[in-house]
Amino acid sequence: MAFELTSSPAHQLASSPAYQLTSSPAHQLTSSRAMIRIGFGFDTHAMESDHNFRLGGIDIPHSKGPVGHSDADVLIHAIIDALLGAAGLRDIGKQFPDTDPALKDIDSRILLNKTMQLIRERGFSVGNIDTTIVLQYPKISHLIPEMISELTKAMDLEAGQLSIKAKTSEKLGFIGRGEGISAYAVVLLQKV
Ligand SMILES: [Zn+2]
C-alpha cells in the first residue's frame, strides 16, 4: 500500500477535514496524482590500516580506511539504500551484489549514478537528502562542501538538495576506538 496526503478545497472544509491520509493499492503507484515517499539508509564498515579512505566521493588522508568489496564509501552506500528503499527497489546488496567481480573496488559514485537512473526510470525525483556520518577520526567537517559538490554532481542534483553532517561517537564503541565508520541517510522522493 502507498499513502498519499491529499488536500481538499476550502468549500469542502465543512464536510471533510482539510487533509486526509488515503491509501492506494500498489498497482496504482503509477497514478498521475502527486506522491511522496520516504527512504532510510544505514551503512557501516570496519576501518583498517593500509586501506584507502573514500568518503562522500573524495579521498581523505588517513592512516586507515574502510574495508569493503567496492571502494567502501559508507556515505554513498547509505544514500543508495535510502533511495532504493523509498522507490521500493530493495537495497544495495540486491542491486549491486558484493559477489559481482565487476564491482570489485568500483567507485561508489558510479553505483550512485546508476541508482539515480533506476529512480528516474520509475518516475521519481529527489526532493532532498539528509545524512549523518559518524566517525571519531579524522576531523572531516571542512571537507563537507567538497563532498556535497561531488555527490550532487553524481546524482545531477542541486547542492541545496543534499545535507551532510558529521559527528563523533564521543569515543564510545567501535567507532570511538577508530575501528569503524557509519553513515545514515534519509531521502524524500516525489512523483508527479
Ligand atoms: Zn557499504
Please tell me the pTM assigned to this model: 0.83
Q: What percentage of the chain has pLDDT greater than the value 70?
A: 82
17/63 same-domain check = no
The grid coordinates of residue 124 equal 521519481
Q: In angstroms, what is the span from residue 36 Cα to ligand 1's centroid?
A: 26
Range of the domain at 20: 1-33
pLDDT tens digit sequence for 68-80? 999 999 999 999 9
**pLDDT over 50 at 13, yes or no:** no
Do residues 146 and 73 both lie within one domain? yes
For ion ligand 1, residues whose CB falls within 5 Å: 43, 77
45 and 102 assigned to the same domain:
yes
- Same domain? For 160 and 94 the reply is yes
Distance 51 CA to ligand 1 centre (A): 14
Identify the band that residue 31 occupies on the pLDDT scale cut at 50, 70 and 90: low
Check whether residue 12 and residue 93 sit in a common domain: no
Residues 54 and 96 in one domain: yes
Are 1 and 91 members of one domain?
Answer: no
**CB within 8 Å of 157: residues ≥ 6 apart:** 126, 129
80-108 tens-digit pLDDT: 999 999 999 999 999 999 899 988 989 99
Which grid coordinates belong to 123? Answer: 518516475
